[in-house]
Amino acid sequence: MTKNSLILTEEEKKNLKDFWKVYEGVSKKIQEDLLQVVQAIPEFASILNSMTAEQQTKQSKRSHDIQQQAILNNKWDAFLAFQYEQGMNYAKLGISFNAWFKLVNAFKYSFLKFVDISTFEKFKDIVSAIEGMTQFIDITMGIIGDAYIETKEAIIKEQQEAIKELSTPILQMREKLLILPIIGMIDTYRAKQITQDLLRAIKTIKAKIIVMDITGVPIVDSKVANHLVQTAHAVKLMGGKVIITGISPEIAQTMVTIGANLQEIITLGSLEDGIQEGEQILGYKVIHIDKTSKSLDELSVNV
Amino acid sequence: MKIPILKLESYLIATLQDSINDSEWKQFQSDIMMQSKKYHISGVVIDAGVLDVMDSFATRTLGMIIQALKLLGVKTVIAGIQPEVAFSMVQLGIRMEGTLIALDLEEAIKLLNQILKR
C-alpha cells in the first residue's frame, strides 16, 4: 500500500530527529520493558510466543531499520507500508484497538522513564524530543488505524456479499409456481436485490404465481411493507401474481396500523395455504393417496 | 418508424418499437382504433418486449389507447415487459392498475382466450 504519503514541516522533521537521537540511546532498555508489557497483554502474548527468538530479533531489527530510514532520511514510504501491513495483521488476528493503545502507552512511559534529562543542554531540547515522540506515535497510530478499519470494512463487505447470496433463494415448486422464502431484515438495498432477482427468475422460468413467505422477517415496518408492495407490483407488470404468506398476528396488526396498501396482493396465513392457493390458480389439484386402498388402478378410477 | 400491427383471427398484435416519438404514438393510436373497428377485433396484444424504458408518457398514452379500445368493446393485454423495465416502472410509481398484463405473447393470447371464453 503506497497510497499513504506523508508531508512533514521542517520543524516536525527536526523534532523527530531529536526524538530519534534520544531513542537510539535507550532503545534496548525500552524493548526489554515493552516485552514485559506485551507478555501481560494476552492478545499480544500469544502472537509473540508463536514466534521463535530468532524471528523476534529479526522482526524488531527490521522495524528499527525502517523507522531509522523514515526519520533520519525522511523516507516514509517503507515505514508507512510496514505499519499498514501491521495494522492489517492486527485486524485479521482480531487484536483489539484497545490492546494496541496499551502497548503504545507503555512505550511512551518507558521512553520517559529511561530518558536521562541531565544529558540535555536546554529545556527546549527535551520538549522537542517529546514532541517528536508524540509525532511519531501519531503517525504510526494513524496509519495502523487506517489499515485496521479498512481491513475490518473489507471483511464486513465480504460477509455481506456472502449473506446476500445465501439469503434469497428462489425455488421452483411447479411449472409457473415459484416460492420465495425471505429470511432476515429487509432494507432498501436488499429489497431491490430481491425484486430484481425475482423478476429475472420470472422471465426465465415463465412463472405466473410467486408465493413469498415472510415468516423469517422479524420486523415489518412501513418501509418493509412498502418494499413488499413494490415487489408485488413489479411482478404484476410482468404478468405474475404474488401471494404473501407467513404474516404473524403481530405483523398483521402493525400492517393494519401503518395502513399498508396490500389490497391487490393475496395474503394468506401459512406457506401451505399459499402453495395451495397458487396451485389452485394454476389449475393443479393435489390429492392425498390413502395407503390402505388396494391398488393405484382403483384410485385413478376414483380420480 | 411505424409501429407494425398484425392481425390474427379476431386479435390484433402490435409490437412496440424502441424510442417511439409523439407523432408515432398518435399514428399508432389511430391505426389500432381503425383496424379494430374494421376487422371487428375482440382482443389486442401490445408487445413491449423490445422497450428498454417505459416512462410515464408511454404509460399514459398506452392507458389512453386501452381506454379507447375498451369503448369499442376490445380487451387489451400488455405483454413482455422486461424485468429491468418493470423494476424501474415501480420505482417511478407507475402502476398500470386495471390493465391486463401477461409475461409474453403466448401467455397474452391464452389470457385473451380465457377472458373471451374461447
Contacts of B61 (CB under 8 A, 6+ apart): B25, B29
Q: Is B31 part of the contact surface with chain A (CB cutoff 8 Å)?
A: no
pLDDT tens per residue, range A117-135: 777 778 888 888 888 888 8
pLDDT tens per residue, range A245-292: 998 888 888 888 877 777 778 888 889 999 999 999 999 988 888 777
pLDDT for position A167: 67
Among the partner residues B79, B83, B103, nearest to A206 by beta-carbon distance: B103
Residue B49: closest C-alpha in chain A: A238
CA count, 13 A, side-chain hemisphere, B8: 15
pLDDT tens per residue, range A200-247: 999 999 999 999 999 888 888 788 888 888 888 899 999 999 999 998
Q: Which residues of A touch B103 (CB under 8 A)?
A: 202-203, 206-208, 238-240
Q: Mean pLDDT in runs of 10 for chain B (118 residues)?
A: 89 90 89 92 93 84 90 92 90 84 93 89
pLDDT tens per residue, range A57-101: 888 888 888 888 888 888 888 888 888 888 888 888 888 878 888
Mutate to test the interface with A, among B90, B95, B114 (most CBs of A within 10 A): B90
pLDDT for position B6: 93
A268 CA: distance to closest CA in chain B (Å): 22
pLDDT tops 60 at residue A187: yes
Q: Which residues pair with B79 in a beta bridge?
A: B47, B102
Q: Could B102 and A239 be called an inter-chain contact, meaning their C-beta atoms sit closer than 8 Å?
A: yes
Rg (chain B; Cα; Å): 13
Alpha helices in A94-219 (DSSP H): 97-114, 123-167, 188-205
pLDDT tops 60 at residue A1: no
Q: How far apart are alpha carbons A74 and A71 in whole angstroms? A: 5
pLDDT for position A4: 57
pTM reported for the whole predicted model: 0.61
Nearest to B43 by CA among B19, B68, B12, B2: B12
pLDDT tens per residue, range A3-51: 556 778 888 888 888 888 888 888 888 888 888 888 888 878 887 778 8
For A2-16, what is the HEC assignment?
CCCCCCCCHHHHHHH
Q: Which three cell numbers stand for residue B37?
A: 373497428
Rg (chain A; Cα; Å): 33
pLDDT for position A2: 45
Q: Which three cell numbers stand for residue A93?
A: 488476528
Q: Which three cell numbers stand for residue A204?
A: 426465465
ipTM of the modeled complex = 0.80
Q: Could B103 and A239 be called an inter-chain contact, meaning their C-beta atoms sit closer than 8 Å?
A: yes
Q: Which residues of A touch B79 (CB under 8 A)?
A: 239
Residues 58-87, chain B, touching A (beta carbon < 8 A):
79, 81-87
Give CA separation, A114 vs A57, A103, A137, A268, B35, in Å.
21, 16, 17, 76, 100
